[in-house]
Structure 1
Amino acid sequence: MTSVPKTSDTNDLGRIKHQLLAVGSAKVTGIPLPASLSSTAGPSAGKGGSVFFSDGVSRIRLMLDEKSTVHIENYGDSAVLTFEGPNGPVFVDGFVEKTGCHCPKQAYITINEGCIFSCRYCSVPNQEKHIKTPDEIVSLIKDACSRDTIECISLTSGVVGTVREEDARLFTILEKIRVFDLPIGVSVYPTPGLSKRLFELGVSEVKFNLETATEKLFAEMCPGLDWEEVWAALKEAVGVFGKNCVYTNIILGLGESKDEMKQCIRQCLENGIIPIIRPLTPSPDLSDFTRPSAGTTLEIAEYLREQLPRFGLDPTEAKTMCAKCMGCDLTPMADLPAGVRT
């Protein structure tokens, strides 16, 4: 793993990360955060931004919330995270990380802000629609490179026009950004044959999101989208990109049982797909839902860790996107190198 600068052989943050993910937020005091130390995209889009905290081995992304029970005291070059754990106060030494675009060490850019679909867990359809031009994308990448050491480019997008129109826009952007000579990851709504074209345009990895552990939940949460179409695209992508290059987000906490989540994980791995298990951030239509408990998040992550080697898959090989960042999820192999519970 190269995305987090390693400062010690301990992994204090990884051992308690499942507890922090169950909270999902932090208040930050001390030296105010400049714009380069906050993020406004991802699961907390539209909620006032977030912060990345690292101990040098693991990192976590937490929404900024003055009422949070997690406290980060920022000293500039260092920081201390504190919260009340099940066995008493917990203290983790570390630092607040700069964000390139959206997350550390990456130019992770949303092409289209806004979306014609209305997935119930997603706040993007409620945002003001804006389509970034290819020149805007290039400018954002250059700006990110000027502020941080950027190791990859990651592109995602909502759907503002038709899916085919989005594909054409993406292809134009990819032609323009190849000059940066960085690994490129793409996460968009997939269409038949898309993976082959992305591979031809120099993309290194793709992430097509199943979102839910079951087809029934997908129909409830993602009206108008096609579960089987996503599965077909993922399987096609494995044939094009190969091992450790195809990922999918699955949200934990939408109403699935643990057995259903584990079954979905197995099905992904059997097909060469690495699932990223994303604890639910309750919004916007799901405000009555709660974040998954620390115990549930840990159990599912440990199960994924146990199963990955059986299929010769390793998310720490990721060069781009969420699997490289690891801020929003409990990541097997990295956060749980020995499956240690705390």
Structure 2
Amino acid sequence: MHWGDLKARILAYGTVRLAGTYRFHPEQSSAGPGAGGGGSVFFATSHGRIRLPLDDHSLLTLNADADGSAHLTGPDIDVYGCIEEAVYHCPRQAFITLSEGCIFSCRYCAVPTIAKRIKSVEEVTTMIERVIGDIDAISLTSGVLDSVEEDEARAVAMVRAVAPFGVPVGVSIYPLPGTPQRLKDAGACEVKFNIEAATEDLFREMCPDLDYEDTWTILEESVSVFGRNRVFSNVILGLGETDAEMEACIHRLVGIGVIPVIRPLTPSPNLPGLPRPTADRILRMTVFAGEELRKAGLNHTQAQTMCTLCGGCDLVAGRDV
């Protein structure tokens, strides 16, 4: 089976049960799909990697030996690989959440439910100093704990503080007009501002406190500041959009020079009746995105930071398929 088909099937299951003699150090996340959960593990083959949240009731089982070799099994799944240890949040990156928690209440997101705190510049730089020999990138993300303006100011200050480490720095926060240039001037090389939902109606339903069209405007601004292949945007697959609506959103993102990150929905009690998307749908939308990217001359594989460099949570066009 082709890796892209296999990874899509694994993503559709979405979780894994751990077994074996390997001494696991599950990655605990304060951002992204695993925020506030019970941890996750990275499984890799020669073709790519995948991040799987832990669940004792999962249909998939990861049996790992003490040396890190691993066997992933489940319905229609039987593949050998190895465990990849996360540095901070993912392998080979210091992917750090600056402000944990959030004042907004997007329905698909668990970040507002976790304990609120802000990491200082000293704390973050100390974290990076400990792992600088094991990372290829620094990626910074944040919830909004007080105001968007204060959160952006903290992110800009942090980029200035970590840029001297000499590895690429990417940033994903909720942006304001002018945020791209301020982050670029501070030393960031890439940004990810998330459009989240394929349609404005779904966005208003899921994120009533945020502005959909403002984010589109700032994404266009970001491409003019950072250039092509350096601006990304999450689009959640499975919020109730049709295939045609998802394709239209992907087409619009690519048309302004933004690389879409197609993120399969993590089911939540706040979204009753919305299951994880099927393997077929994950694969179909990623293949469509790949075709759009090729037509536009954009390339996922040039990513230097953040989710697209890691590729654990998503099927990556141009790399996995």
Deviation at 1:247, TM superposition (A): 0.3
Deviation at 1:17, TM superposition (A): 0.7
- Preserved contact between residue 163 and residue 188 of structure 2 (Cα < 8 Å): no
* TM-score using structure 2 length: 0.96
User: Secondary structure at 1:121's aligned position in 2?
Assistant: coil
Alignment of 1:290-309 (within 5 A): 290-309=275-294
Question: In the alignment, what sits opposite 2:73?
Answer: 82
Going from structure 1 to structure 2, the CA distance change for 1:142 and 1:283 (only over 3 Å counts) comes to farther
- Preserved contact between residue 28 and residue 37 of structure 2 (Cα < 8 Å): no
Deviation at 1:109, TM superposition (A): 0.4
Correspondence for 1:96 among 78, 83, 105: 83
Identity between Structure 1 and Structure 2 (%): 46
Number of aligned pairs? 319
Correspondence for 1:58 among 45, 48, 54: 48
1:43 matched to 2:33: yes
Q: In the aligned structure 1, how far is the partner of 2:60 from the partner of 2:280?
A: 18
Q: In the aligned structure 2, how far is the partner of 1:119 from the partner of 1:335?
A: 29
Q: In the aligned structure 2, how far is the partner of 1:115 from the partner of 1:38?
A: 21
Correspondence for 1:234 among 208, 219, 225: 219
* TM-score using structure 1 length: 0.90
Correspondence for 1:248 among 189, 213, 233: 233
Question: In the alignment, what sits opposite 1:340?
Answer: none
Question: In the alignment, what sits opposite 1:339?
Answer: none
Alignment of 1:1-342 (within 5 A): 13-35=3-25, 37-41=26-30, 42-75=32-65, 76-85=67-76, 90-145=77-132, 149-336=134-321
- Preserved contact between residue 240 and residue 274 of structure 2 (Cα < 8 Å): no
Q: In the aligned structure 2, how far is the partner of 1:120 from the partner of 1:325?
A: 25
Going from structure 1 to structure 2, the CA distance change for 1:249 and 1:181 (only over 3 Å counts) comes to same
Going from structure 1 to structure 2, the CA distance change for 1:284 and 1:175 (only over 3 Å counts) comes to farther
Deviation at 1:284, TM superposition (A): 4.4
Moved more, 280-289 or 307-316: 280-289
Task: Specify the code of the residue in structure 1 equivalent to 2:213.
Answer: E
Deviation at 1:32, TM superposition (A): 4.0
Q: Which structure 1 residue ranges, 5 or more long, are not aligned?
A: 1-10, 337-342
Structure 1 residues 189-220: Cα deviation after superposition (integer angstroms, max 9, x where no partner): 01011111111111010000000000010000
Question: In the alignment, what sits opposite 1:8?
Answer: none
Moved more, 134-143 or 296-305: 134-143
Q: In the aligned structure 1, how far is the partner of 2:109 from the partner of 2:269?
A: 6
Q: In the aligned structure 1, how far is the partner of 2:250 from the partner of 2:38?
A: 32
Q: Which structure 2 residue ranges, 5 or more long, are not aligned?
A: none
Task: Specify the code of the residue in structure 2 equivalent to 1:119.
Answer: C
Deviation at 1:167, TM superposition (A): 1.5
